[in-house]
Structure 1
Amino acid sequence: METRLSRYILLLILLVVIGLLVHEEKNSGSGLTPSQIAFELFAANRYKAGLFCREKGWDFCDKWADYPRSQFSSVNAALPHESTEFNLTGVKPYPMVQEFSSDSQSRLVVNEVHTSSDNSSALCAEPMAKTVKQDKPKQQIYSWTDDKGQVHFTDDARQGDQHNLSLTSYQDPEYSFDLAVKSTGGRLPLAFKDKITAAIKKVSEIYEVYLPTSGTVPVSVNLTLATTKGSYQKLQSQYAPGLGPSQGFYQAQYNMAAVWHRSDKQAYQTSVHETVHVINARLFGPTPRWFNEGLTEYFEGIRMSGYAAKIPPREWKRAFSGKSVSLDTLFSAKQETWAGSQQTMLYSQSHSLVHFLMSTPKGKISMKALLAHLVETRCAPSDYASILNNYPGGLKRLQADWVSWMNSERYRTQSF
């Protein structure tokens, strides 16, 4: 009797659930079946839970926010990079990422820049910001040849009394980096300050590996962490009054990054993210949006272990499940598209492309060439597409290799 009653109760519950789903389907106008709606609702709740876990710094569930989102997902005001909606089409477990369109190369927008409240024009008009240290004198390197024909080098001009010295064309690498970390609203735990300082300095070291050995301007970053909401809002009203709800911002004109310290993990990632924006603005001036955001997303995942660092990938094949990715879409996206419903997809694609360029043999060559080009054309229009077109096989091959890299899940954690 109890078993039969339990079955009746279970059947009644199922009927109620199905009825609610059917009612939702009729009123939503989405055209989805009840089972599809059930999947959508599950994905939406999983995504929201992932955002909450990421904010709290819970490692076991923060990756849920990287999974495909549902059209029912809503914006989280504390996470400014999340879009207000994301429509899933053709939900499948692991479909292949769609391939490069044949006419993509002819429609690339090569001079689009990321315009924001960072006052990049003022930064370019005044190459040396007040907070940046002045260049140190370049070191002079001399050479001389002994009686056996052996060439020697020295930086001591006084040896000219003994040898016939010749001044070489050698120049010290010009890249230099200075970081100041402070707090407002309260004191930061010393261990956290040391951790974020080590991570950002490591980011600078990685930049130096990919940058040209000369021609770069000195970089200085002033990172301020606000320990209370009130102290953060005070910073925001002073330096970014037009900014809406956020947990971090940067002002390149002052070499400044500001972060609301809500939790250690959130503040760590946001600090790295905003600092990379300052570094990019200082080194290159205005840059393509995909490049700027891709590098910030790439570096914010950096994990330190002593002096060593690891930068993990994300599950991009799963994230792009059922989606189409292309260099054309990424390069030609306008400001309103970045601010609209495709924002999350554009950020994720930018992150994936940068990780591909930073971690694969041919990609590294292209990334170094791209950074050298952006240094050379600092604060001027840059034809970055032509630089990337030097990738072996051109942009079409770059697209194909990038897609294949994701589909075959060859992305790996990088060690530095």
Structure 2
Amino acid sequence: MRIAVIGAGTAGLTAAWLLTPDHDVTVHEGAPRPGGAVRTHTLDTERGPVSLDLGAQHLSPGDFTAHRALRRLVGIGEDDEMTVPLTMTVTAAGATAPLLVTPDAARDAEAGRTPVTGPAWERIAAFLAATAQVGPLGPGATVAEAAVAAGVGEEVLDRILLPWLASYSGCRVAEAAAMPARYAAAWALRTPPARPEDAALWTNVTGGLHTLTARLSDALGDRLRLSDPVTEVSAGGPGGSAPLTVRTTAGTAHEYDRVVVATPAKEAARILATDPVLAERAVLLRRLPYEPVTVALHRDPRYMPAHRRHWSAVNIHAHDGRGETTFWFSTAGVPDVFKSWITHREQPVDVLRVERFDHLVLTADADATRRKLHGLRLSPHLRLAGSYLYDIDSQESAVRSALQAVEEIDASGSRTARLRAAVRTEATS
């Protein structure tokens, strides 16, 4: 079959890579480079080049089984990865001391860190324990409801818990309070520390996540068309069926038997809006709320805690009804370099690079909209893929969405079968 994949982020590249051995695939990407939310910066240092991710970065070693299976299939092994202890500090505007510094018993003494825990840390742990169990509140319980049930208390909720959870998407703390707790706290729940006094251990790709997207892109060769924005997709057959016509800003029109739209939701809505059958899906896609986020890679430590003994990998500053993060690349083997959310903060000095993203805000309404999208079959020959469609809007959900879309097109494909088998193996290893 002739198949178009629109978008060359992780989801689009994965879908195209899975389909290429068995079908005639073309990838249309509007940007001049592939990768989507993967933005890897190469920093020249005395030790040689170091890769730092401005966008997607952290991979759960236990939970991201589809992403790990894909990495292994394209030749990215354990030797190409490193373990990153994700400690966390929470500070607040106007406060001289940190509100929370999580422990890392195995490394704190050597690093000169001083944890700040006490009752606040115990209440955060109680919230996570309550959220991990469905319990009487049910799976739709909000953060605010779960916090009350766990006895978190208003001060810890308002000053620590909500800024921390809001920092994941860049939303306001009021929005974080109304999120389903199982999604808002998922990043902490999926990869917990071995003991309360330990740090959670996550995985980073040593060469940056660009390592994966580059290998997928290289495998596609001239099937990948960069700087080729799509303006619309229309269906020529009854009920939204093939042939499907893809039109680009260059004025070209291409007919395909199948189309996978693997762009962010807002872009997918724009592409589908002009077709009378596909437009119903566009209406739902527009309902998904996004928060614009600006991220800077820099050497200026202005957002870090006042004393180095309180520095963590993840440093959250609560201010003006928000929580914004600074990630310290302490394990990268370079002098102090930071990645900071600066959407609502003054830009630092000594900036190396600035990137802009749109983060999905997983409200209860957004979750309901996603369920409607999954149940909507307007076209038998068009599929959506993207991290926004499943779970917590991660690199794992990007790969899973691509695998799902491809299996609905051709479940017997050679690479599809290999990836599905590899996912099963990773899940049981």
TM range (shorter): under 0.3
TM-score (norm 2): 0.21
User: Which structure is richer in relative contact order (CA contacts within 8 A, separation 6 or more)?
Assistant: 2
Higher share of residues assigned strand: 2
- Greater percentage in helix: 1
User: Please, what TM-score do these two structures have when normalized by structure 1?
Assistant: 0.21
Based on CA coordinates, which of the two structures has the bigger radius of gyration? 1
